[in-house]
């Protein structure tokens, strides 16, 4: 334990009080500023826009459709973003048809919507593909999202049956009959009721 003379003790106590006040001022002004700065930085780093992922999604409505040959359906593009902080503006559209075992065509290839018409002579499926770009603005960040969407369409040619024959007009009990015919169109599997 140290001993001081009375004159020095008074000055030392005053110096200690001044030092405590100075340290307090430093923590008061510097502490919250640094803590606030760190908090703000963490907030920016963990924000939804840091990875430039706007959640931009492109869909076609309706996504699936069933129709007969010569029928048509209007397909509509639907852009959306999963982030409420982002605005989205479509830039261009490109529609195309990818034939499967059915076929058809679109009336327009560059608008927000198009009409598909089935022209298939065989029942089956066909896909309509949409490519589109949209400008996505999330706060101060602007990006361009490139997306593709697909609508799957089932096409059935109109049902027809022809050349129906039966191997015998009159049958004995337990005798088998053979029914033959040509069935086209409609949608398989078919069901048959014989009276």
The reported pLDDT for the residue numbered 44 is 27
Given a cut of 60, is residue 49 above it in pLDDT?
no
Instruction: Concatenate the DSSP letters of all residues of the chain into one string.
Output: -----HHHHHHHHHHHHHHHHHHHHHHHHHHHHHHHHHHHHHHHHTSTTTT----EEEEEESSEEEEETT-EEEEEEEEEES-TTEEEEEEEEEEEEEESSS-EEES-SSSSEEEEEE--SS-EEEEEEEEEEEEEEETTEEEEEEEEEEEEEEEEPPPEEEEEEES-SS--TT----EEEEEESS-SSP-----
Distance CA 74, CA 108 (A): 11
Which residue shows structure tokens 């529609």?
Answer: 95
Distance separating alpha carbons of residues 88 and 56, to the nearest angstrom: 8
Q: Taking the mean position of all CA atoms in its chain, how far away is CA 16?
A: 66
On whether the CB atoms of residues 38 and 54 are closer than 8 A, the answer is no
The per-residue pLDDT for range 147-166, each reduced to its tens digit, is 999 999 999 888 778 888 87
Residue 66: its pLDDT value, please?
Answer: 92
| Window from 40-49, 97-106, 135-144 with minimum mean pLDDT | 40-49
Q: Would you state the pLDDT for residue 188?
A: 66
Would the pTM count as exceeding 0.75?
no
Mean pLDDT confidence for 45-68: 71
């Amino acid at each position: 334990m140290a001993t001081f003379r009375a004159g020095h003790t008074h000055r030392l106590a005053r110096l200690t009080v001044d030092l405590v006040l100075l340290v307090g001022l430093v923590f008061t002004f510097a502490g919250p500023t640094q803590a606030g700065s760190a908090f703000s930085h963490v907030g920016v780093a963990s924000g939804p826009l840091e990875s430039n992922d706007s959640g931009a999604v492109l869909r076609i409505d309706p996504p699936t459709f069933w129709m007969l040959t010569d029928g048509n359906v209007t397909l509509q593009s639907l852009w959306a973003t999963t982030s409420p902080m982002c605005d989205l503006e479509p830039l261009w559209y490109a529609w195309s048809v990818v034939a499967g075992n059915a076929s058809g065509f679109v009336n327009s290839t560059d608008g927000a919507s198009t009409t598909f018409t089935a022209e298939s002579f065989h029942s089956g499926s066909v896909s309509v593909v949409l490519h589109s770009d949209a400008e996505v603005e999330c706060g101060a960040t602007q990006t361009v999202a490139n997306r593709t969407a697909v609508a799957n369409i089932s096409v059935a040619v109109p049902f027809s049956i022809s050349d129906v024959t039966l191997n015998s007009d009159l049958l004995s009990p337990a005798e088998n009959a053979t029914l033959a015919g040509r069935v086209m169109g409609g949608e398989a599997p078919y069901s048959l009721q014989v009276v």
